[in-house]
Amino acid sequence: MTIQERQQDLIQEFSKISSWEDRYKKIIEMGRKLPDLPESLRTDDAKIKGCQSQVWLHAKLNSAGQVELQGDSDAMIVKGLVALLLQVYSPADPEEIIKTPPDFLKAIGFEGNLSPSRTNGLFAMLKQIQMFATAFKYLKASQES
């Protein structure tokens, strides 16, 4: 499934939920289903700068050449946002991550309905995912040449 298809699935899923209170409940539920990040990956290097809550993102390149992401947060709504991003971007080809804009965020209404600090944190997480993808794109290219 492509990133675009995953985005469309989320847009459809959230479009069935009319109230923002229920959408927050859905986000929290997604966070509860996210496996806890092992302590060994909760390092300062993996912390996302720009988030008020503690957020950790870890990435690796799998044997198929796709970026696999893991993440966690100490705040329930933010952990749900991490789960949402992982659902869209993991696993995926680095080039696809780089080229696919996060249109689902606006379509779902996150840009106008999250607090400014959560919005900043969300975009800091997206920026880190883009940075991982860029690094892995160049790693793949150097391995292939």
Nearest-CA neighbor of 1 among 82, 96, 139, 81?
96
Of 30, 34, 51, 61, catalytic: 51
Concerning whether 68 is annotated as a catalytic residue, the answer is: no
* Residue 4 contacts residue 97 (beta carbons within 8 Å): no
Q: In whole angstroms, what is the distance from residue 133 CA to residue 135 CA?
A: 5
Cα pseudo-dihedral 70, 60, 68, 121, rounded to 10: 50
Task: Please give the DSSP secondary-structure letter assigned to residue 51.
Answer: -
Q: Where are the alpha helices (DSSP H) in the chain?
A: 3-15, 20-33, 76-89, 94-99, 103-108, 110-113, 116-144
Residues noted as catalytic:
51
